[in-house]
Amino acid sequence: MYKISVNITKRKDGRYMGKFIVGYDDNGKAQYQYVYGRTYDEAECKVLIGREVASRYLSDRYVTIGKVYEEWLNAVVNRVKESTFANYKAKFEKHILPVFADIPCADLSAGIINEFINKKLAEGLSASYVRDIFTVFKSMLKYAQEEYGFKLSLKNVVLPKTEKKQIRKISDTEQKRLISYLRNNMSVTALGILISLFMGLRIGELCGLKWSDVDFDDKILHIRRTVQRISLPDGSRKTKVVISTPKSETSFRSVAIPDFLMEYFKMSRNKDDFFILSGSDKVIEPRTMQYRYKKMIKSAEIENHNFHKLRHTFATNCAEKGFDVKTLSVVLGHSSVNLTLNRYIHPDHSHERRLMNSMYMCL
């Protein structure tokens, strides 16, 4: 036989033979598929079709998690918030890539992922954090399956169960002590604490408030932005503070300001483009506000707790005072009523006892 082209040769019997790569052995040596035709064109056509099929198979088989990760990042970078993108990148590069970067997508299985999950739990990561890691991984794998067509069932992936922590509200006694201390030591920081205690704002939302967000005529507060510190996307350990849109679409909201709080807003009023907590055009970041809050509750002789407990306390107080859950969900900026019920409303037993006793009073 003599050579006609790189992939097609003419045999002594007059037929044309073509070949194309269909895979590689364990040593990386190419494996070929051979096709035959009575004419050159027929053999060439079979080679082209075979190449297309093999190319599809090979991309399914040999594209790695690391390669798809880079593609996926480029796909999501303009679709999600900067903080979300930083979160994805941090979880991938710290936990997923060190284990999976060189593994071909098609070699992935539920068993391999379950082993990874169990290892992360053994390293001391919480069940909820491991579930978050898997959620990000799952998003990338969905992209990979759509782009490269390989099949991967995740129905046998077993996620760890999370324990629901019952975060109790600040006791009524300590709430009174805190409010008294804040009123006697009024400042923009004290005002911020009162806003979260009586309006349920997240700390990032509170830090992002400007005076232009306060409607003094209709007594309405508009939540339009949030502040947070995120990791830089360059792989370093450096971070930066970003001002962005609120957590979700439902977090954009307008909340009625209680009358007693309105008086403090009027007392502290500043330029429209100034941030409420800083009294200037420079933002106060959440961890600074958290630090200031810790100092205040220590001065007020209140048991140590984090700032987010103010939001839990607000939600529980509202539930105990008869707020309907739908209204409360809107005020908190939740995407669903179930989230409000499951995460933030934890009435204490004294309220429960009053409700139980009220049943007797009806008889």
Q: Do domains 65-148 and 172-358 have the same CATH topology?
A: no
The secondary element (H helix, E strand) that includes residue 87 is helix 82-91
**pLDDT over 80 (residue 25):** no
- The pLDDT of residue 361: 57
Mean pLDDT of the chain: 86
- The domain 172-358 belongs to what CATH superfamily? Intergrase catalytic core (1.10.443.10)
Structure tokens given for 92: 């991938």
> Is 199 within 8 Å of 261 (Cβ atoms)?
yes
Residues 258-293: tens digit of each pLDDT: 999 999 999 999 999 999 999 999 999 999 999 999
- The pLDDT of residue 214: 96
Overall average pLDDT of the 195-203 stretch: 95
Higher local confidence (pLDDT), 121 or 32: 121
Alpha-carbon radius of gyration of the chain:
30
Distance CA 329, CA 316 (A): 12
β 226-231/2-3 pair status: unpaired
What is the CATH code for 65-148?
1.10.150.130
Residue 250, CA distances (Å) to 192, 212, 276, 311, 332 in order: 22, 20, 22, 17, 9
**pLDDT over 80 (residue 343):** no
Distance CA 138, CA 311 (A): 31
Sheet holding 2-3, edge to edge: 2-3, 8-10, 16-24, 30-37
| β-sheet bridge partners, residue 223 | 253
**DSSP symbol at 283:** P
| β-sheet bridge partners, residue 243 | 227
Residue with tokens 């053999």: 43
Phi, psi of 256 (to 5 degrees): -65, 135
- The pLDDT of residue 354: 66
Nearest to 293 by CA among 132, 170, 136: 170
- The pLDDT of residue 2: 42
Higher local confidence (pLDDT), 119 or 237: 119
Domain boundaries, the chain: 2-62, 65-148, 172-358
- Mean pLDDT is lowest, of 186-190, 245-249, 259-263, 267-271, for 245-249
Residues 89-123: tens digit of each pLDDT: 999 999 999 999 998 887 889 999 999 999 999 99
Residue 279: partners with Cβ closer than 8 Å, 6 or more residues away: 188, 270
**Residue 85, amino acid:** F
Torsion of CA 83, 86, 90, 93, to 10 degrees: 160
Overall average pLDDT of the 200-223 stretch: 96
Q: How confident is the model at residue 60 (pLDDT cuts 50, 70, 90)?
A: low
- Mean pLDDT is lowest, of 154-168, 195-209, 302-316, for 154-168
Cβ atoms < 10 Å from Cβ of 359 = 8
> Is 229 within 8 Å of 239 (Cβ atoms)?
yes
Structure tokens given for 329: 């969900």
- The pLDDT of residue 309: 94
Name the E strands within the chain.
2-3, 8-10, 16-24, 30-37, 214-215, 220-223, 226-231, 239-244, 253-256
- Mean pLDDT is lowest, of 37-41, 130-134, 245-249, 262-266, for 245-249
- The pLDDT of residue 299: 95
> Is 247 within 8 Å of 226 (Cβ atoms)?
yes
- The pLDDT of residue 4: 41
